[in-house]
Chain A
Amino acid sequence: SQQGEEDPQALSIQEGENATMNCSYKTSINNLQWYRQNSGRGLVHLILIRSNEREKHSGRLRVTLDTSKKSSSLLITASRAADTASYFCATELSGNTPLVFGKGTRLSVIA
């Protein structure tokens, strides 16, 4: 069963706009990671946020975590056509347990 559920399932925006994807999860977590998958490729790690953190930035990426609502969001600012990909959240439920991946959000950035 999926621990994390991304929302929306698909998102289409114009180049230069911001893209926001959300991830909700069911049980308490130690940390949450976001990954990107380009079509036909393996996943690539983007950013990690620990359960005691509320916000992290990496370049054009901003991740927030609200443990009271059991949710996280990934914001990509000033999107580019190269950002077109699927984005997955992955949660670690407890120490040394494998990550549990959500079903992903498909982002299309139109030039």
Chain B
Amino acid sequence: NAGVTQTPKFRVLKTGQSMTLLCAQDMNHEYMYWYRQDPGMGLRLIHYSVGEGTTAKGEVPDGYNVSRLKKQNFLLGLESAAPSQTSVYFCASSYSAGVFEQYFGPGTRLTVT
């Protein structure tokens, strides 16, 4: 039981390049989330999904796209990376919203030069 995994762990991009971050969970959770964490800013929600085939915007969605084609996977895409997207990205999943805890992946450290 791996929980929540993220690929890759580290990545350096040049401005304008694109990439996809992959999140996978093996707990059969309905809800999945993408956050970014910047120094002094805490966690900010980028996009989330309440089930396979659904996505919704969070607090800071601009510059990112997501897809949830399979229940266990949630992909975060950067179409044209900018230095402002340098951050640590965390994926999380939960059985549902409300009283259910979120399980977090180990994070992806992304640097855009």
Chain A positions within 8 Å of B, measured between CB atoms, are: 1-2, 30-31, 33, 35, 40-45, 48, 50, 88, 90, 92, 95-104
Assuming the contacts A42-B107, A43-B90, asked whether A98 and B45 have C-beta atoms less than 8 A apart, the reply is yes
- Among the stretches B13-21, B71-79, B97-105, the one at the interface with A is B97-105
Bound complex: CA A86 to CA B50 (Å): 28
Cβ–Cβ contact B99 & A43, under 8 A: no
Cβ–Cβ contact B58 & A44, under 8 A: no
Cβ contacts under 8 Å, A2 to chain B: 42
Cβ–Cβ contact B96 & A41, under 8 A: no
Cβ–Cβ contact A41 & B45, under 8 A: no
Chain B positions within 8 Å of A, measured between CB atoms, are: 4, 31, 33, 35, 40-45, 48, 50, 58-59, 90, 92, 96-99, 101-107
* Nearest CB on A from B104, distance (A): 3
From A40, which residue of chain B is reached at the shortest CB distance? B107
* Nearest CB on A from B101, distance (A): 4
Top-7 shortest CB links A-B: A42-B104, A103-B42, A45-B101, A101-B43, A96-B97, A43-B104, A101-B42
Cβ–Cβ contact B48 & A44, under 8 A: no
What are 29 inter-chain pairs, A to B, with CB distance below 8 A?
A: A30-B98, A31-B98, A31-B99, A33-B101, A40-B107, A42-B90, A42-B92, A42-B107, A43-B102, A43-B104, A44-B104, A45-B101, A48-B99, A48-B101, A92-B97, A92-B98, A92-B99, A95-B97, A95-B98, A96-B50, A96-B97, A96-B98, A98-B31, A98-B48, A99-B97, A103-B40, A103-B41, A103-B42, A104-B42
Cβ contacts under 8 Å, B40 to chain A: 103
Bound complex: CA A95 to CA B98 (Å): 6
From B101, which residue of chain A is reached at the shortest CB distance? A45
Cβ contacts under 8 Å, A101 to chain B: 35, 42-44
Bound complex: CA A50 to CA B100 (Å): 11
Bound complex: CA A30 to CA B43 (Å): 20
Cβ contacts under 8 Å, B92 to chain A: 42-43
Cβ contacts under 8 Å, A103 to chain B: 40-42
From A1, which residue of chain B is reached at the shortest CB distance? B59
